Structure 1
């Protein structure tokens, strides 16, 4: 059992950056059981044997997706969204007056609640964004959750988590027991699969990057690597947003926490410099 689990741990780390300690063997057993039954193999050992054959790329992907945590809800931890409206957007509206373009990346977007929350917020600020181009790129490793996000259909339970009734009625229409987000918001977001261990260069540069509650599943070397890549993908005066319990401190030299606002980090080069002390020399 331990050797089978070690193979799975190595696969997950190599393919997605996910880091599982030895105490999480039970988690692998429970999450992979449906896949084991679907493939008709003899338990976890049979699944590992299939993976070691090296000819089942689709099974590798299914294992990674099964082990990925996709917990999310609308306007999760309201602080980053309040900061986006009150701090980030006003700065960008002033700093991007020439280009009138803003690019936002929601990395590890899961089933889409985070980028749709941003799209709602931006729609409410439409009077300030007339004539502007605002692009939201939303990516996730999991093909299944990207497809769910792209469809924009949610259960009653999902729309009740964090979504005020006024926004539910304004931006969704009910279809039976589910709710579908309106096409206008869908058109503002580009959903695509993307692995955070991949090359970021094809994505371009972003003014804002949301990467919340995903790095907690990575080991320290992988966290450092991802954060350094994120820093390179960020505009010089851009904003980087992590989860409430996450920090860039001790993981990257490229970014530092915002001096005033929780949840925001900025490039170290853009951080305000402390005032210099004057040294008085007696004459």
Structure 2
């Protein structure tokens, strides 16, 4: 792969997926795209680039983007966000939504489904507390391939051993040969849609909780800021945003503010656009609450 080929691929990946590769990641591109080139009947990456540049290989371009995006995930990954869901978010939301009796949760960059299904199992565990409630869990990802795997809800022995408590495996899965399939009641709680976070996602509607974990770390600061701004328009004013352990809004956007003493948990910053009010003709200063 020539330096020009690498620069072309860097630009392509940035435009299509937001992935911001540094100048020293040629080895990563080669390790993932050489097998793809050979699968397409091409000698190497340079020929792959030529074909993409010709403009008649949209399907191949999509495969390149999918090959370069990371789909690492496992059930109840990092544990802490699910503790926050059980101990902080759900108690607050069940009380706040008691009149409408509905919850909407979005998993952005949901990969092969372990995150949205972990959330579904958490909600299922509430039992009578959510009986009669309308629960929507929307799972989106750039890759159609991982969404298809997620829809099927079939996981290997290795995958179910990563983070999934044995009691939940026995309760919610059925063994099929060497594989395990989630039972239909859990699978039916999750809707799957293909989505690129760089594009508009307002059509998804609004959500009480958005999990957007371990994806923004691959974007540059401007891209992150733009996504935070658009996320602020789809998270309910009293809703929650959950980020990965290595991610933060601090220093990037004032669209959200950290939830006190809950690492990785954020709430919409409703005061950032507040206007001065007047009481007895004496102006009261109202300043935006900066993310701390």
Q: Residue 80 of structure 1 corresponds to which residue in structure 2?
A: 81
Q: Residue 237 of structure 1 corresponds to which residue in structure 2?
A: 238
Deviation of 1:57 (Å): 0.9
Q: Distance in 2 between matches of 1:43 and 1:220?
A: 33
Q: Kindly indicate which of the two structures has a greater share of residues assigned to helix.
A: 1
The worse-fitting range, judged by mean Cα deviation, of 126-135 and 58-67 is 126-135
Deviation of 1:42 (Å): 2.8
Deviation of 1:270 (Å): 6.7
Q: Residue 141 of structure 1 corresponds to which residue in structure 2?
A: 142
Q: Which runs of no fewer than 5 residues in structure 1 stay unpaired?
A: 277-283
Deviation readout 1:9-59 (Å, 9 max, x if unpaired): 111010110110111011000101111001112311100101111121101
Normalised to the residue count of structure 2, the TM-score between the two structures is 0.91
Q: Residue 260 of structure 2 corresponds to which residue in structure 1?
A: 259
Residue 99 in structure 1 maps to residue 96 in structure 2? no
RMSD: 1.2
Contact 1:236/1:270 (<8 A) preserved: no
Deviation of 1:74 (Å): 0.2
The worse-fitting range, judged by mean Cα deviation, of 166-175 and 257-266 is 257-266
Residue 200 in structure 1 maps to residue 201 in structure 2? yes
Q: Which runs of no fewer than 5 residues in structure 2 stay unpaired?
A: 273-284, 286-292
Q: Residue 280 of structure 1 corresponds to which residue in structure 2?
A: none
Q: Distance in 2 between matches of 1:270 and 1:129?
A: 31
Q: Residue 112 of structure 1 corresponds to which residue in structure 2?
A: 113
- Alpha carbons of structure 1 residues 87 and 61: separation in structure 2 relative to 1, 3 Å: same
Contact 1:209/1:239 (<8 A) preserved: yes
Q: Residue 41 of structure 1 corresponds to which residue in structure 2?
A: 42
**Runs ≥4 in structure 1, deviation > 4 angstroms?**
none
Q: Residue 214 of structure 2 corresponds to which residue in structure 1?
A: 213
Q: May I ask how many residue pairs the two structures share in their alignment?
A: 272
Q: Residue 130 of structure 2 corresponds to which residue in structure 1?
A: 129
SS in structure 1 at match of 2:24: helix
Contact 1:141/1:195 (<8 A) preserved: yes
SS in structure 2 at match of 1:173: strand
Normalised to the residue count of structure 1, the TM-score between the two structures is 0.94
Q: Residue 181 of structure 1 corresponds to which residue in structure 2?
A: 182
Q: Residue 270 of structure 2 corresponds to which residue in structure 1?
A: 269
Q: Distance in 1 between matches of 2:140 and 2:99?
A: 28
Q: Distance in 2 between matches of 1:159 and 1:226?
A: 32
SS in structure 2 at match of 1:190: strand
